[in-house]
Amino acid sequence: MQRLTITLDDETAQALDDHMATHGYSNRSEAIRDLLRGPLRDAEAAREPSMPCMAVVSYIYDHGERDLGRRLVLAQHEHHALGVATLHTHLDHDLCLEVAVLRGAVAEVQDFAQALIRERGVRFGGMNLLPAPKADGHDHHHHAAAAGGGG
């Protein structure tokens, strides 16, 4: 363990306290540790650009703004090899929330995710990088046979 002293502006400190209250944290160290883990894991993954990974990219956008809905669909088709699934929900008359699950090399997945998030008009974009399951994890055919078939 190392002991660090950090300085936060009032607004950030208040946001941290609110976050702690919402999520039931009783000490600041624990809350800050959990907040840092995701970004640090992403940063670590980014150092291995060829490593296979999964990513969950989420963003809100106004589908009518400068043809944004169409542009996002085109971008996804251009990167279809990275796409695993997309969830789209219409939040109101104008706003859509999309969650895209991607799989591929870290560098490609990050480039595509950044491109989606940076499209003009996209709001609240965020990405989580997750390690991809190992391809040699287990034998699917053996697994299916043991379970009595069914694929």
- Output 96 or 127, the one with its CB closest to Ni ion: 96
User: What track of x and - describes contact with Ni ion for positions 81 through 120 (by CB under 5 A)?
Assistant: ---------x-----x------------------------
> Using an 8 Å Cβ cutoff, are 30 and 90 in contact?
no
- 119: tokens are 């499209």
The contacts of residue 91 (CB under 8 Å, 6+ apart) are 60, 97
Buried b or exposed e, range 17-30, using 16+ CB within 10 angstroms: eeebeeeebeeeee
Closest approach of Cβ 76 to Ni ion, in Å?
A: 14
Closest approach of Cβ 92 to Ni ion, in Å?
A: 9
Total residues at interface with Ni ion (CB under 5 A): 2
Q: Is 37 a binder of Ni ion (CB under 5 A)? A: no
- Output 96 or 116, the one with its CB closest to Ni ion: 96
Please give the angle made by the CA atoms of 98, 133 and 50, to the nearest 5 degrees: 80
Residues that bind Ni ion (CB under 5 A): 90, 96
